[in-house]
Every structure is written in structure tokens, then in C-alpha cells.
Amino acid sequence: MFANMKQIFNPKNKDIQKRILFTLFALFIFKLGTTIIVPGIDKDALGTDDLGFLGLINAMGGGAMERFSIFALGVMPYITATIIIQLLQMDIIPYFSELAKQGQVGRDKLNQISRVLGIIIAFIQGYMFSFAFIKGGSVMDYMEFSLVLTAGTALLLWIGDQITQKGIGNGVSMIIMAGIIASLPSMFMDAWNGFVTGGDTHAIVLGVISFLVFVLVYVAIVIGVVFVETTERRIPIQYANKSTSVGSNASYIPFKLNSAGVMPVIFASAFISIPSFIAQFAKNEQLTLFINKWLSYESTTGFILYIILIIMFTYFYTYFQLKPKELSKNLQKSGGFIPGIRPGEETVAFISRTLNRITVVGAIFISVLAALPIVFRLFSNLPTTVTIGGTGLLIVVGVALETYRQIESGLVARSYTGRTRGRRRY
């Protein structure tokens, strides 16, 4: 890793340095936009003190939802649209299924459709959030606010495209990661203020020790997330037209321990938050009290339902991405097979059993990580901004690892090209 860092800052790799600087500049523009409040809004009229289920969106946007800035919606409408389009590819609408089979051309078309649908969703969400959080506005006011929020989402998507083309990593993922990281300094400051309170020397020393323990636990959770994100089950593959290879060159199918990523938590949060948002939008006090008692994260029934939904969506999204039948067919077409397993139904059954076993561990891991902030909030007297674990940590680690792999592969390719050119003789 340190050798790669030296290569990055090597004067010969100026293009990589330019990409990194461009990415940092684009993320600075994003962070600057999160501080610009939507024009025409009175801060005192905002009702964003208790965001509830929208806390995840607020965390991904670097606190933009809480301030109701021009980037309050972030890139979540586009992510929602992408999820919808992915679900429609499951032979629900034949047109989308055919596009998914057309390679890069089909993927580009699906991406365009996702962006258009994302803008539409952004406008709808902008109007609903404006109506829910801004008091005393007229219909035209809410229309104006929703247009500003939609324009903010469109601008973020453009910035994400620029990062992908001219910077490093996936632009949309980098924006989400930057929003989450931006809230970490204030969180640790709130934790310090919460632990190290005024009083005698004994209380201050005890508070400092508690804060250090908090930091160590946070670091331990980060290490655990990195371990799980890099853990994979490798199924060896042999090909009939090739000799059996042993060692690093052996072929295998890698199955990540957490193949679903953060999507199950997003699905579960969206599903369980629908009643809360309807009650908030309708401003019905009785319905709100019922939901807070039985369906909120802090209630026992809501917490159990939340965990069950995460486990269910983990299995659903894992099998949605990794289809055992398609993997078996593609493997058979390429002349490959799993040693000791017959092609066809036995291969499908073997892959399904393997996915079931590793998905159990992945689902438990995601559930524990998503439950940690809720449990910590129940048993802690610290401010609500201070938390441990959570979906945001999983997103940051996943994006950071993917970006590092991209930089590393670029450096390896550059080094290999340089050695090849150095060997040429004319």
C-alpha cells in the first residue's frame, strides 16, 4: 500500500495526481452546495429537527437535508430509480430485459432511462419534503422549492459524471462517501463534548478514558467492516480445453461474504419508513402516534421488523445479482465445470448451497451493523449525532476499497506498460 502511495506522488504520474485533485475540487463544490439553503426559505419555519427515517439520506448528503440546502435530495432519487429499473429487468417488462442482454449499448440506454426517472422522482420527493417540512407555504412555493431541489440533484449527477470521467472512482459513490465523511469531525467533537463534561478532575479523566474507548471501538468496527468486505468464498473452476492449473493462476468464481452490499438496509429503511412518511405528509396525529409506538426503529416491534426485512432483502438482492442458473449456463457454455460437481442441476444446487451459507453470515453482519446505531442511541446519553456503526460506515469502506483497487490497477497497468516498452529493441 505504501509503495503505491509513493507511485501516486511520483512526478511521472502527473495524470493520476490531476485526477485526484479534480476529484477533491468536485467534492469541495458538493460540500459547498450543502451549505446553500434553498432560496425563499425561512430557517425558523423548517421542521427538520427530527428527520427520523430520513436520517440516512441526511447522512449521505453531509447534513444537506437537515439544512434543506439545494443538495438536500442528494443522489438518492437516482439510486431509487436505478433500483426500480433493476427490478423491472427481472422479466417484469420485456423491453428492459432485452436491454439488459444487449451489452454496453443496453446498459447505456438503461442508465439514460434511470437518469430521467431519477429526475422525475426528485421532483416528486422535493414537493413532498417541501410540504412536510416547510410551514405556511403555498402550492406555487412548494413547486418552486421542488424545482430548486430537482436542479440540485441534476447538478450532482453531472458532477458525478465529471468525477467518473476526469477523476477517480465512481462519481455518484464518491459523492455519497464525501457526504458521510463530512459529518465525522462534528460527530467526534460532539462525542468529546458529551464525554468530557465540566466538573472535578476525576470526572474529566473518566470522560477522556470513555472517549478513547469510544474511538477504539469505532476503529475496531471499521477494521471488522474492511475484513468482511474483502472476504470472499472462491469456488475453483476447471476448463475442459485447458490443463489443470495450480496456484495463483487457477480459475475460480469469487463470492463475496457481503454480496448485497448496503442495498438491503436501503430497501428495509425505505419499506419501513413509508407509513411514517405518509403520516408526516398527512399530518395525522393519531396515525403518527400509532406508527411511533409500533413501527418506529425505537419500538421493539419496529426494530424486529427492521432486522427481518434486512435479512430478507439480503437474500433477495444476493440472488438478484448472482443467479445460480445463469452462472451454471454461462460456465457450461465456456466449457468450464466445478471439480467433483456435474454440470447442470448439480452445479446450480452447489452454487445455491454456497450462496445460502455465506449469505447467512453476510445478512447477520449487515443486521448487526445497521442495529448498532439504534441500540447505541437507546442506551447512551450522548447527542443523536453521535453513533457507532451504521450503514454509512459500510458505504464509506466499500467505496474507499473500490477506489483504492481502481488506483492500484491503474498503477499496475502503467508499470507493466512501462516495462514492456523498455524491453523493445529495434
Residues written for the chain: 426
Query: Is 387:187 a contact under the CB 8 Å cutoff?
Result: yes
Nearest CA among 374, 371, 402 for reference residue 177: 402
- What pLDDT is attached to residue 399? 85
Query: Is 232:244 a contact under the CB 8 Å cutoff?
Result: no
Q: H or E segment at 251?
A: strand 251-256
**Distance, CA of 225 to CA of 69 (rounded, Å):** 31
pLDDT digits (tens, 9 = 90+) for 313-349: 888 888 878 888 888 888 888 888 888 888 888 888 9
The DSSP secondary-structure symbol of 255 reads E
**Distance, CA of 57 to CA of 48 (rounded, Å):** 12
Domains observed in the chain: 15-182 (1.10.3370.10)
Angle of CA points 252, 256, 259, to nearest 5°:
130
- What pLDDT is attached to residue 13? 67
- What pLDDT is attached to residue 247? 47
Query: Phi/psi class of residue 389: alpha, beta or left (left: φ > 0; alpha: ψ in -120 to 50)?
Result: left
Query: Is 306:313 a contact under the CB 8 Å cutoff?
Result: no
Query: Is 113:93 a contact under the CB 8 Å cutoff?
Result: no
- In the block, which residue shows the cell 529495434? 426
Residue numbers in the chain where pLDDT is lower than 50:
2-3, 245-248, 424-426
The DSSP secondary-structure symbol of 215 reads H
Beta-strand (E) ranges in 257-331?
Answer: none
Q: Which residues contact residue 137 at a Cβ distance below 8 angstroms, ignoring those fewer than 6 apart?
A: 130, 131, 145
- What pLDDT is attached to residue 139? 84
Radius of gyration, alpha carbons of the chain:
24
Residue 37 main-chain phi, psi, to 5 deg: -75, 145
Query: Is 61:77 a contact under the CB 8 Å cutoff?
Result: no
Other Cβ atoms closer than 10 A to 2: 6
